[in-house]
Amino acid sequence: DAKTTQPNSMESNEEEPVHLPCNHSTISGTDYIHWYRQLPSQGPEYVIHGLTSNVNNRMASLAIAEDRKSSTLILHRATLRDAAVYYCILIDGGGADGLTFGKGTHLIIQP
């Protein structure tokens, strides 16, 4: 799988939007961009995924650069429950294999 680069940690205030960046300059044309998050002492949970167009769901939005070499996960109004490690993962053609997790971004939410 192509590699992704994320900041080690980010801090935001409660009820403010959060933009989590991910660089994937070696992304291939068939790679999908997936985001997962892991709350403390829990298994990861799926957040969102996309290929080329921006995507929205009830949890977040995903903004994908036109050249697809970077993407941003957007939490529109962060709450304390959004404090977690966020992983940006590329999966070729959807992927049938297990995911390869990088170090992710540790998001800290200040009340």
Partner 1 sequence: GAVVSQHPSRVICKSGTSVKIECRSLDFQATTMFWYRQFPKQSLMLMATSNEGSKATYEQGVEKDKFLINHASLTLSTLTVTSAHPEDSSFYICSARDWGSQGRNSPLHFGNGTRLTVT
Measured distance CA(56)–CA(34) in Å, rounded: 13
- For partner 1, the binding residue among 24, 33, 71, 104 (CB under 8 A) is 104
Q: Which of 69, 101, 108, 110 binds partner 1 (CB under 8 A)?
A: 101
CB-based contact 51:24 (threshold 8 Å): no
Distance of CA 35 to the CA centre of its chain: 4
- x/- site string to partner 1, residues 20 to 59, per CB under 8 A? ------------x-x-x-x--xxxxxx--x----------
Q: What is the DSSP letter of 80?
A: G
Judged by beta carbon, residue 65 or residue 99, the one nearer partner 1 is: 99
Q: Between residues 12 and 37, which has the closer beta carbon with respect to partner 1?
A: 37
From the list 78, 107, 98, the residue with the least C-alpha distance to 34 is 98
Tokens encoding 25:
């300059």
Binding positions for partner 1, rule: CB under 8 A: 32, 34, 36, 38, 41-46, 49, 87, 93-104
